[in-house]
Amino acid sequence: MARTFNDHYLELCDDVAAWARIHARNPAVRGLDGDDLIQETWGRAFASFDRFKPDRGSFRAWLFGIGYNVLRQQLRHLGNKVHVAGRERADLAEMLDDGTSVATRLWRSERARKLVAIVEKLPEQDRLLVLYRGLEGLSHAEVGARLDLKSEAAEMRWRRVRSKLAGLVPE
């Protein structure tokens, strides 16, 4: 039986909230509103749900693809400049490739709040591992490619981060 949009929403609402909050709290980004990012991502996903094809990939991957498109658009609109590895970049979307009622409900989610608070304290590469592997569900190979690591190294780092986070974030 095909899953409804509501089924997917209930499964992923906390993950999307945490993902958006982590990006919005990046100290290199000024003016990004996590609530807007959450709301726009879910709004676009809802509006185009009839075009989602489960045989082409998971809903999670499709949804985070929409999320990244929204994020890039918002960052381009902000036009902030950031420092990455000691050099200034004007294109925040490039950095991210390397590295209302819906929004209000999501932010109130205890799990999302706790995850964001914990992830904010992690080193940058561990934070990105949580985003890419934990929230977006990318494979170890895909995470490795984004972080310039071999797949095996990404997997080992992910295991370490997971064990570090074990018990800190409610299920």
pLDDT score of 6 more than 70: yes
Half-sphere exposure of 39 (CA within 13 A, CB side): 12
For residue 110, pLDDT beyond 80:
no
> CA 24, 28, 32 angle in degrees (round to 5)?
30
* Mean pLDDT in residue range 58-74: 90
Residue 86 buriedness (CB in 10 A; 0-12 / 13-18 / 19+):
exposed
Q: Which of the listed ranges 15-29, 98-112, 140-154 does the model predict with the highest average pLDDT?
A: 140-154
At 171 the pLDDT is 52
Mean pLDDT of the chain: 78
CA torsion sign, 158 to 109 to 33 to 3?
positive
Q: Residue 91: what pLDDT? A: 43
H-helix or E-strand spanning residue 87:
strand 87-89
Q: How far apart are CA 64 and CA 17, in angstroms?
A: 11
pLDDT for the residue numbered 111: 65
What domains are defined for the chain?
A: 5-109 (1.10.1740), 122-171 (1.10.10)
- In the DSSP assignment, the letter for residue 82 is E
Mean pLDDT of 130-146: 87
Q: What is the DSSP string of 64-99?
A: HHHHHHHHHHHHHHHT--EEETTEEES-HHHHHHH-
The mean pLDDT value for 51-64 works out to 91
Q: What pLDDT does residue 75 have?
A: 81
Higher pLDDT, 110 or 164: 164
Tokens representing 131 are 């985003």
pLDDT over 90 (residue 88): no
Q: For helices 140-147 and 151-165, what crossing angle results, to 10°?
A: 100
User: Which positions ≥6 away from 85 have C-beta within 8 Å?
Assistant: none
Say if CB 132 and CB 171 are below 8 A apart. no
**What's the DSSP call for residue 138?**
-
Residue 85 scores a pLDDT above 80: no
State the average pLDDT over residues 163-170. Answer: 70
H or E element that contains 84: strand 82-84
pLDDT digits (tens, 9 = 90+) for 15-34: 898 888 888 877 666 778 88
